Amino acid sequence: MKLYTEDQNVNVHGDFETSDFAIGDIAFIVDMFADKVYSHKERAIIRELSCNAHDSHVMAGTTDVPFNVHLPTQLEPFFSIRDFGTGLSDDEVRNIFAGIGISTKRDSNEVIGCFGIGSLSPYSMTDSFTVKSYIDGVCRTYTCYRDEERKPVVALLTELATDEANGLEVSLSVEGKWYEFSEEAQNVFRFWEGTVPQINDKSVMEAIEETREEYAFRGDDFGLTAGWGSMYALMGNIAYKIPDELDEFNTKGYLKFDLGELSFDTARENLAMDDKTKKAIKDKFQEVKDKLAVEAGQQIAELDTPFKQAVLANRLRQGNLGKHIKANLEQYDLPEPTKEFTYFQRSWSSTDKATSKRVPVGDNIQYYRHKDRMQTRIKEYLKGFRKLTMVILSDEQIKECLIDEDVLLDLEDLPKVVRQSYATAGSTVKTFVFDRNHSGWTNKDYFDETELTIDGDEIVYIEINRWEPQGANGVYYCNSDVRRVLSRLEKCGIDAPKVIALKSAFLKTKQFEKGNFIDLADYVKRELAARSPKTYYDYNVRQFGVFKQMHKHMQQQDISDMIELVESHSNSEVADWLSSLNQDREVADMEKDTMIQDMMDEFFVKYEMLTFLSDWEMTHTDEEYQTKIANYIGGTIRENAKTTEN
């Protein structure tokens, strides 16, 4: 990408002794760019290496071929990107991965890269990573690492013949970071265009596609939703948040810019607010505003049925989005039937039956052809949803309201109402098992029907009513909590049990009394107590987060010792969980150790400049403000220490 620069005319008169600019400590420079530049390290690694892969495909003319992204899993805890672009020669690998500021892309706006530091991004999380270059029938494997002086080194490991396509593969070990990489992959690829990646995690691919579908109104250079939110500037597959003072929509959406139109910081995380960038953003907002109404009319007109037109028109006039589209979208409303129709509406925990002549369109609405004696099935079906409207129409009303046949559902397909049966010990009971890996969207989707044998073995259960867990037990409150509890048990080294869901009525039977049942909450407490450490560190967690942020700039031994203590066995996942449960009731006999909090309190006394910050400011502000406070204090203390030493 071509960088925006202004020509400078400098007139020099006389004979002066001059010196060229020089860089001294390459290790320090690499530390600065790799460790200090990126605020979100996982996101930076995915973004920078993906941009390099995209650029390589552009230069090779293979933009129709996806590059491969491997996100870490528990069995394969590594991240890698394999592109099918040009590949790199031996000299290019050594120059790019052991140098800084080396870029071949500053003369073209066809590619994204420009700074020549993206290849160093893996160093933000590891001291070594692997590079494989496939070029002209040869595969060279390199290890890139930082030596004892922290300087980047590239070492050739193997050079073998290959029949694989040209390209580059960069991989690094990121054990324990599978969740972070999955989340950040969604952040990076939600706006991605052109060379679309192939990701090994299907759930991430599906989440990315769902995010794309949120933008109900799209043009060549914009995408908007009906909800409130932030606007992003999209340039070269990278989304930059538009500052609030320049956001003229206050709607969740994006504006597209050509490569080189905007300036951005070195980390490619934020826009650089120079005059050129501000003007480009302002002009783009005005350009999009001028064509919203025309674009809306064209997109609606392209749809082939009145029903589809009504659905899109309804989306476009919803929420904040409708304020910006100056067009008569009500003209696309569906016609009213001669007689009122019946509809059932579920909202949170209640179901209402009503009649109307105005046919609703939009999200969470289903349309059914009328059948008699289906009300019991309808109400039972609705219990599995937090929000849903079921519109029941006769054949005549379907024609009058111009409802598309392909959206009509059959009431006969609704599940029949099944009464849960109970049995004596030694027999089986039809019940439900909790599915932590479910792929549906309703509470009911968390549960699969099963037959439970009551034979004296311990059975871990949760009580459910209308597909929701019951009781405030301090461990779980809703279905998503149950899923998190099972995952957290595994983090503690405890087997996640099979969880049976029992309806409230069964808990009042003799069969339940005779069975060997244990509530999931009690199971968690029992297993944690069995692994309880003798002591745990009690300290203000958010305040400690500020101290960790300050430590990045201070590098003081006393703070290093504190951090090491917190991350020790005494404050393991088991201890953290137990300490939170013990706030309500005694689960395990652990002694509270306030040493960490005492050290933080002493730190306040040691550095008087901290006294202007109240405890509220240190622990209750948002993360961005905390970071600014910590960075300022850490840097100031470090500079003061240097001055004292000198």
At 477 the pLDDT is 78
User: Percent of the chain, pLDDT > 70?
Assistant: 76
Which range among 284-288, 379-383, 567-571 shows the weakest confidence by mean pLDDT? 567-571
pTM above the 0.75 mark? no
Residue 330 has, within 13 A of its CA and on its CB side, a CA count of: 1
At 634 the pLDDT is 58
At 1 the pLDDT is 44
CA 482 vs. chain centroid, Å, equals 20
- Rounded average pLDDT over 62-86: 94
At 614 the pLDDT is 46
The confidence band for 19, taking pLDDT boundaries of 50, 70 and 90, is very low
The confidence band for 106, taking pLDDT boundaries of 50, 70 and 90, is very low
Taking each helix axis from N to C end, the angle separating 595-606 and 557-566, rounded to the nearest 10 degrees, works out to: 160
Rounded Cα distance, 596 and 561, in Å: 10
- How many CB atoms lie under 10 A from the CB of residue 344? 20
Rounded Cα distance, 66 and 57, in Å: 9
At 85 the pLDDT is 94
Q: Which of 363, 346, 362, 343 is nearest to 443 (CA)?
A: 346
Residue 177 in contact with residue 130, Cβ under 8 Å? no
At 616 the pLDDT is 44
The residue among 645 and 592 whose pLDDT is bigger is: 592
Strands (E), 357-440: 365-369, 387-393, 408-409, 428-434
Which range among 79-83, 199-203, 233-237, 466-470 shows the weakest confidence by mean pLDDT? 466-470
pLDDT in tens, 602-631: 776 766 655 544 444 444 445 555 566 656
| Phi, psi of 79, rounded to the nearest 5 degrees | -110, 140
- Rounded average pLDDT over 224-228: 81
Rounded Cα distance, 122 and 1, in Å: 22
At 242 the pLDDT is 94
At 512 the pLDDT is 84
Rounded Cα distance, 390 and 383, in Å: 12
Residue 534 DSSP one-character state: S
SS3 532: coil
**Contacts with 87 (C-beta within 8 Å, 6 or more apart), sequence order:** 56, 133, 134, 135, 136, 166, 167, 168
- Rounded average pLDDT over 489-502: 88
**CATH of span 26-202:** 3.30.565.10
Is residue 107 predicted with pLDDT exceeding 60? no
pLDDT in tens, 125-148: 998 999 999 999 999 999 999 888
Is residue 566 predicted with pLDDT exceeding 80? no
The residue among 491 and 644 whose pLDDT is bigger is: 491
Rounded Cα distance, 499 and 487, in Å: 13
**Contacts with 396 (C-beta within 8 Å, 6 or more apart), sequence order:** 337, 338, 339
Q: Which of 260, 234, 240, 233 is nearest to 110 (CA)?
A: 260
Is residue 75 predicted with pLDDT exceeding 70? yes
Which range among 37-41, 185-189, 395-399 shows the weakest confidence by mean pLDDT? 37-41
Token reading at 567: 């991350």
Size of the chain, expressed as the number of residues it contains: 646
Residue 319: which region, alpha, beta or left (left: phi > 0; alpha: psi -120 to 50)?
left
The residue among 547 and 390 whose pLDDT is bigger is: 390
Is residue 22 predicted with pLDDT exceeding 70? no
At 596 the pLDDT is 75
The residue among 44 and 112 whose pLDDT is bigger is: 44
Token reading at 80: 């890698």
- How many CB atoms lie under 10 A from the CB of residue 113? 22
Residue with tokens 């953290």: 576
At 641 the pLDDT is 53
- Rounded average pLDDT over 280-304: 92
- Rounded average pLDDT over 404-425: 78
- How many CB atoms lie under 10 A from the CB of residue 250? 14
Burial of 108 (C-beta count, 10 Å sphere; 0-12/13-18/19+): middle
Rounded Cα distance, 1 and 12, in Å: 32
SS3 69: strand
Rounded Cα distance, 88 and 141, in Å: 11
Rounded Cα distance, 644 and 646, in Å: 5
DSSP string, 232-290: EEEETTEEEEPPGGG-SS-EEEEEEE-TTSS-B-TTSSSB---HHHHHHHHHHHHHHHH
SS3 543: helix
Which range among 33-37, 156-160, 274-278, 510-514 shows the weakest confidence by mean pLDDT? 33-37
Is residue 277 predicted with pLDDT exceeding 90? yes
The confidence band for 586, taking pLDDT boundaries of 50, 70 and 90, is low
Is residue 496 predicted with pLDDT exceeding 50? yes
Q: Which amino acid is at 165?
A: A
Rounded Cα distance, 70 and 92, in Å: 24
The confidence band for 572, taking pLDDT boundaries of 50, 70 and 90, is low
Rounded Cα distance, 563 and 607, in Å: 18
Per-chain mean pLDDT for the chain: 81
At 207 the pLDDT is 87
At 282 the pLDDT is 95
Which range among 114-123, 170-179, 579-588 shows the weakest confidence by mean pLDDT? 579-588
pLDDT in tens, 438-464: 766 778 888 888 888 887 788 999 998
At 584 the pLDDT is 45
Enumerate the domain spans of the chain. Answer: 26-202, 214-323, 340-412, 428-530, 535-645
